[in-house]
Amino acid sequence: MDGNGRWAKRRGLPRVAGHKKGVDTVRRIVQTCAELGIKYLTLYTFSTENWKRPQDEVATLMRLIVRSLKSEINDLNANDVRLTTIGDFNSLPAIVQKELMQSIEKTRNNKKLTLNLALSYSSKWELITAIKNISKQVKENEISIDEIDEKIISANLATKDMPDPDLLIRTAGEFRISNFLLWQLAYAELYITDTFWPDFKAKHLLDAIINYQSRERRFGQVSEQISKNSQQNNNAKTP
């Protein structure tokens, strides 16, 4: 969700104004995803690298997260949205941890959409944590080294309870992944838009989805194989 600061700067506003406006976009996009039947939406909310930002900006962002969780809980329940989070939870301020846990508990039975907030998250942190967990399992003879495969690694990631993303949308025209879901994005389709996050509306999301639907996802195969497999699947479903 990039471009909050630049959005504010272009308007002669403090950066925090962009972050506050970005919350409105979150609300709009979450509701649209729920309406479209999208099952999982992960928002890169705050990276481990973001801790390096000016202290006053970080403090403002933390307060904004708490305020947003409190104010949006009713809408999340009304839209049947379940809240989850990934990241270094213990590095967050105690008040953020408390509000997150309360919101997660209050929405845990919702089923329409899972809204996953990546907070104090980086993919390198996630992979290091996974390697440590797997190493411990090997050391304690729970698994052998030869058993380590893609499934074992995926099962030790923060996203173990959700599918890998189909589509990554990057706002504000940045052409990089920025330490986000490096393992999980192996075959995701990437969509880059110049639109700043505060200006990102439902129509921009629909444009991204329509663009995604026009692509051929080959997963290492050639077009002819995809076409043949699709035809066989369709024939198998024909009564």
Q: Is residue 61 a contact partner of residue 46, using CB atoms and an 8 Å limit? A: yes
Residue 11 CA to residue 17 CA, distance in Å, equals 10
d(CA 131, CA 23): 34
CA–CA separation, 212 vs 210, rounded Å?
Answer: 5
Nearest to 3 by CA among 199, 197, 179, 190: 197
211 classed as catalytic: no
CA distances 5 to 29, 30, 40, Å, are 19, 21, 27
Instruction: State the Cα–Cα distance between residues 87 and 125, nearest whole angstrom.
Output: 8
Per the annotation, the verdict on 2 as an active-site residue is yes
Beta strands 113-121 and 81-86: pairing type? parallel
Q: Which of 50, 133, 179, 211 is catalytic?
A: 50
Catalytic hit among 2, 79, 110, 116: 2
Active site residues: 2, 50
